Each structure stands twice: as structure tokens, then as C-alpha cells.
Amino acid sequence: MQLALFDLDNTLLSGDSDYEWTLHLVNKGVLDRDVFEHRNMEFYEQYKAGTLDIFEFLDFQLQSLADNSRADLEAWHAEFMATSIVPMLAQPARDLVKRHQDQGHLCALVTATNSFVTGPICRELNIPHLIATIPAQEHGQFTGKPRGTPAFREGKIARVEDWLEAMGLWWGNFERSWFYSDSRNDLPLLLRVSDPVAVDPDQTLRAHAQTADWTILSLHQ
């Protein structure tokens, strides 16, 4: 048995779905441009620099889910998929996923971005399992808070291990395990698998990958 894990933003996707979702709501007039555009960019720069406080970010990112009806959110997300996400899913990324699936590997998307935003993207890629930050709900309405451990940094390891445990599995069941990511923030999980792959990596991850002789792959150039 073999395991293939994929990061989403700037890995399979040639952009950041969290950032683009907020921008989509700003452009629709759902969120105030003067307030949210600047704050969105600020958090994105913190993420790239490896300094993001995930709970502070989630307070910002999940509030728009709590402030709007599920019907409106679903309609806006369908537009978002068509106009923003599908154009950022390059064929090499789709082909990479398919190669693992064709070999019968257990595949999962592992992303810090919340599951409302990423669930439809996971389905578009035909990846059967999603491990994402979970936005809490009560009676179908989002609360604006996360449920459980966010799938960020070491939290990705915890969430992957919980998922495996729920299926009666653990790391030792796999002859090989891959994780594909672009970001320094994913070093904990990259160090956990047998076959870490840096995909169009940031400078910190590229330097680490070169030193450790990891595979470096480009899906977007």
C-alpha cells in the first residue's frame, strides 16, 4: 500500500484559494474593499514569510462564512470555481494526481484552507479524501470559528494521523508515502513522509530540498 498527499495552494493550484476567495467576495461587494483587501494581503504575506498566526487568520477568514446565508455562499462559490479556480488548475497538476490514482495509491488533499472553500476543488480534482481546516457549523450555519485542530504546520500531521487512524491505518502500513508542497509551512509533514516533493517551492523550502536532495518539481512553469 502507498500513500500520496497533496497540498493545494500554489502546489496543485497555481494560486492561493484562501486569498482568491476573499478577493472574490470583495469584487462582488460582499466585503468592504478598503478593509478586507489590505488585510487579506497582509495575512498572505505573513503566510509566505512563515509568520502566520493561524487562529488570528481564521477569525478573519471564517467570519464571512458566518455573516452570510449558506445559499448565498454556495452560489458565490460556484462562480468562484468557474472564474478563479478552474483556470488555476493546470493539466500537469491534474496529471500528477491521476498518475498516483492509476497506481492504486491512497490519495488525499491536505490543506490549511477551510473545507468550504476547498471541498469543491477536491472534487474537481477527483481526489477522494480531503483533510482541511474545518469551519464549525450549527444547524447548517457557519459559526465563524474552526472545529478541532487547523490543518496547518504540525496540525497537518495530527489531522493526517487522525484520518489514517479512523480507517484502521498508520504510517507503517505504507511502503512509500509522498507529500507534495510548495511551502516552508509544510516542512513538518514533508519530513514525515518517505518521499517529500517540493513543488515550485518558496526560497526556504527550495534551499532545504536542495540540501536534503529532495525531488523538486514544477507544475506551473
In whole angstroms, give the CA distance from residue 28 to residue 6: 30
* Helix, strand or coil, per DSSP, at residue 60: helix
pLDDT, residue 173, reads 97
pLDDT, residue 43, reads 83
- CB hemisphere CA count around 177 (13 angstroms): 17
* Helix, strand or coil, per DSSP, at residue 209: helix
CATH of the domain at 65: 3.40.50.1000
Domain that holds residue 177: 2-217
Distances (CA, A) of 171 to 5, 50, 54, 175, 176: 12, 27, 26, 9, 9
Let me know: does 105 contact 4? Beta carbons within 8 Å. Answer: yes
Burial letters for 22-35: b for 16+ Cβ neighbours within 10 Å, e otherwise?
bbbbbeeebbeeee
- CB hemisphere CA count around 64 (13 angstroms): 28
Low-confidence residues of the chain: pLDDT under 50? none
In whole angstroms, give the CA distance from residue 199 to residue 65: 30
Let me know: does 201 contact 216? Beta carbons within 8 Å. Answer: yes
Rounded to two decimals, the pTM is 0.94
Structural domain count of the chain: 1
In whole angstroms, give the CA distance from residue 134 to residue 114: 6
pLDDT, residue 9, reads 97
Annotation marks residue 7 as catalytic: yes
pLDDT, residue 41, reads 85
* Helix, strand or coil, per DSSP, at residue 145: strand
Let me know: does 85 contact 13? Beta carbons within 8 Å. Answer: yes
Q: Give the residues across from 9 on adjacent strands.
A: 13
Neighbours of 131 (CB within 10 A): 22
